[in-house]
Structure 1
């Protein structure tokens, strides 16, 4: 089931009514309702993979208890390794099997060995990267004695399969989400209203911004051989806004939806395109994934405690693994490597922890220096996005080469003024509210009459530009 579908607009109110009115504020009944709703939500995509989700939940639930009950460190380690191996085994099979097989064949061919190895038509279960990481962090935290093992199967199952975050995050932690699941929840009108506003903003970014950038981006990246340089630049820039509108829009809908049920999810985006350097960008983009890799990979590798060479090594590992997490393609790995290269000068100069505050706070406009830094960071990000979006490394290289010719100074033929106006409007709203949780959080910043005008305008734009259910979210493929 897609958030941007008529089915979801019917599903959500039904679950809301059952949750608050039928369950009568009994959190145990509410959790059962959420679990049933979440399984139904996921099963609407493909009920066969619902069995895989249930198996993954059962595996980590049982492993967590065994880790906690182990009388020796060796036995606890056994159960941890078993859980991690099976989880990563399923993820590797569904997501990376063909990638490794195809590249293994290429390697053998390069040394003169001809082999015929069949690839499989493997369907990637939607959300597997996200719910796998939920389970991994849970068993690791139990092993590290950060949390106790959860004995209530329903509560743990809701933590992993909670439908607002199930298929595209944010990647939650048991330390944050489980306590909310395990306590009594009361309906809060103001929080629910705030949730609805954030949902509306998410719909705007997905269905108005991302979905209207999509056809232009698809046309340019499909015909990159014949496009002018100015069109290629436009394609890269519009893809940057497409993927931002698509993924941060999903996160806004997820966080807003969860707030309707009295549960707060981790913030996943914090206006990343206002970043003044790449380090700041990665503190603001896909925050739950970046922090997951920091806590469960970067720090165990030594983090920033060692010498410069160790820091550089760990940085490249983090970015390369992050790229590979996104998909079984060399383009994603190179995208991760490019971001590591962009990050490297800041690391060497020990400036990667600068710009921790909100840009131009208390000011209407940024300074010239701040604006220039934002522009440079955005340009580097767009350059890396070319590899992320391209079908192959060779097509990305041809795409980039095509930018550097005299047609760069021509007017792009695929330019659409209405799309530009919509993007500018989104950026204006997010700049205005860059100290808030999301771009439409204007409840304390505008008079009620102005709030209503803005809400009506955005609702009109959604109804005018949206095509419900026709465009999946980009991160469903990850």
Structure 2
């Protein structure tokens, strides 16, 4: 009960009106899960499953995508020479974390339908699973098969686990407060006034955004996982040093893992996965990346961002190199990467950075213009170049040290003691102001 009350107070502190929405989603999926288990006729099981899916996607569609579709339709009609007003748009606020908790509760119903999970009759525990406050507003998107059993069982305080949790919280705060928040005004300035900068500065701005969004989002995930550890919960990993990836397939096994595995298990595999024919498999890949892009926001820039990643992924998928680096740590038994690994990581990072331009831009035309200026007006006399040395280089060095252990569970105590003092000094010096997490908007 304490977890549930804390979660509702946490979410209601932002806007209490949306508590009803998450409560309604909880009630529906709770009873749908019980009904799916109770039914003996497969058709009835599927009907109740669709009640859950349609409700959750309907809520997501109204609050997140309704205005987008209306505006897109109006723009399309205007393209044919007809004038049409957007009078059907709704003046509504996007609830924080709606994309995360709707996917989380929907996966519970699907798992019950598939027989992977027995529905719980403990409503308080189920409501705690849906609204679990550390990861409620920005993930990781947890599975009921992992989190719900932990809520149902009694937990005891473990000093070692709590210590690991505090390490993750501190490391996450450093990435968010020191790196992401320091880069944010620079990125905003470059992207807002991009027409007045040379191509070198624009590319550096895109690189800064790549690290801003990584430190912002992975920093939140670290703090969420760390806070959960203090309560005795183990959440899934959401990031595993994605910018050390050697191809785009490895990148998506290291970036936003809870979302990519969600789409794999609940969309890609049901569509046939890679077991279908060649063309069907390629279709499935495009569907996954386009839907993933659209999940991030109601803007064509996100769709194009997903399309770019699909195009980058297809060659390795066809050549069957997309699963080449399944669990291997880069330079696992070496201090430094090889020249080949440096080339692979560098080229992969370059394409990821170019795709990030669409993610950050206000619209697609701006993104194309931004990228065009990078390649047509490139100069090495760039602005803001020293920030790379101040923020990016130290982050890369520390992440390279931590690359074998994303949860910092086995870092030596002496090293961590010194690092803790350094991190606290920087966090204290930089802490101040109100800078929300980027993924709160999704």
Shared fold by TM > 0.5?
yes
Match of residue 466 from structure 1:
431
- Aligned-partner Cα distance in 2 for 1:305–1:69: 32
Matches within 5 A, 1:302-341: 302-341=272-311
- Work out the CA distance in 2 between the residues paired with 1:429 and 1:76: 50
Q: Distance in 2 between matches of 1:133 and 1:445?
A: 34
Moved >4 Å (runs of 4+): none
| 1:82 equivalent among 51, 60, 73 | 51
1:299 to 260, 265, 269: 269
Question: Considering only aligned residues, what root-mean-square deviation do their CA atoms show, in Å?
Answer: 1.2
> Which of 32, 51, 55 does residue 24 from structure 2 map onto?
55
- Which has the higher mean CA deviation after the structures are superposed, 224-233 or 380-389? 224-233
Q: Secondary structure at the match of 1:79?
A: helix
| Per-residue deviation, 1:445 | 4.2
The corresponding residue for 2:354 is 383
1:451, CA displacement in angstroms?
Answer: 2.5
Deviations 1:213-234 (A, max 9, x none): 1000000000011111111011
Q: Which whole-Å deviations, capped at 9, do the CAs of 1:158-196 have from their partners, x for residues lacking one?
A: 111000010000000011111111111010011101100
State the SS of the aligned residue for 2:329. Answer: coil
Tell me what 1:174 maps to. Answer: 144
2:102 alignment counterpart = 132
Deviations 1:388-417 (A, max 9, x none): 0000000001101111234x2332123344
- CA–CA distance in structure 1, aligned partners of residues 6 and 410 of structure 2: 34
TM-score with structure 2 setting the length: 0.97
Partner of 2:66: 97
Query: 1:425: how far off?
Result: 1.3
1:34 matched to 2:3? The reply is yes
SS of the equivalent of 2:195 reads: coil
Q: Is 1:192 paired with 2:156?
A: no
Residue in 1 that maps onto 2:124: 154
Q: Does 1:211 align with 2:181?
A: yes
Match of 2:369 in 1: 398
- CA distance in 2 between counterparts of 1:110 and 1:238 reads 36
CA deviation profile, 1:445-467 (whole Å, cap 9, x unmatched): 43x44332111001101111222
Give SS of 2:95's match. coil
Instruction: Please report how far the alpha carbon of residue 72 of structure 1 lies from its aligned counterpart in structure 2 after TM superposition.
Output: 1.2
Aligned to 2:418: 453
String of CA shifts for 1:213-272, please: whole Å, max 9, x gaps: 100000000001111111101100000000000000000000000000000001000000
Q: Could you report, residue by residue, the CA deviation over 1:198-218 in whole angstroms, capped at 9, with x for unpaired residues?
A: 100000000101001100000
- How is 1:244-393 mapped onto 2 (pairs within 5 angstroms)? 244-356=214-326, 357-393=328-364
1:24 corresponds to: none
> How far off its partner does 1:40 sit?
0.1
Structure 2: state its 5+ residue gaps. none
- Tell me, in whole angstroms, the C-alpha distance in 2 between the residues paired with 1:300 and 1:393: 31
After TM superposition, the structure 1 stretch with the greater mean CA deviation from structure 2, 136-145 or 274-283, is 136-145
Task: Classify the secondary structure of the residue corresponding to 1:186.
Answer: coil
Match of 1:5 in 2: none
Deviation, structure 1 residue 112: 4.0
Residue aligned with 1:409, SS: coil
Q: Which residue of 2 aligns with 1:433?
A: 402
> Once the 2 structures are TM-superposed, how far is the Cα of residue 37 of structure 1 from its aligned partner?
0.3
Residue in 2 aligned with 1:8? Answer: none
d(CA) in 2 for partners of 1:113, 1:410? 47
Deviations 1:128-172 (A, max 9, x none): 000000111111111111111111000100111000010000000
Structure 1 unaligned spans of 5+: 1-31
Q: Is the 8 A contact 2:198 2:379 kept in 1?
A: no
Matched residue count: 440
Normalised by the length of structure 1, the TM-score is 0.90
| 1:45 corresponds to 2:30 | no
* 8 Å contact from structure 2 (residues 241, 406) kept in 1: no
Q: Deviations over 1:56-76 (max 9, x none)?
A: 111111111111112311111
Aligned to 1:169, what secondary structure does the other structure show? coil
Structure-2 separation of matches of 1:244 and 1:322: 17
For the residues of structure 2 that align with 1:414 and 1:332, how far apart are their CA atoms? Answer: 27
Residues 160 and 227 of structure 1: is their aligned pair in 2 closer, same or farther, counting only changes over 3 Å? same
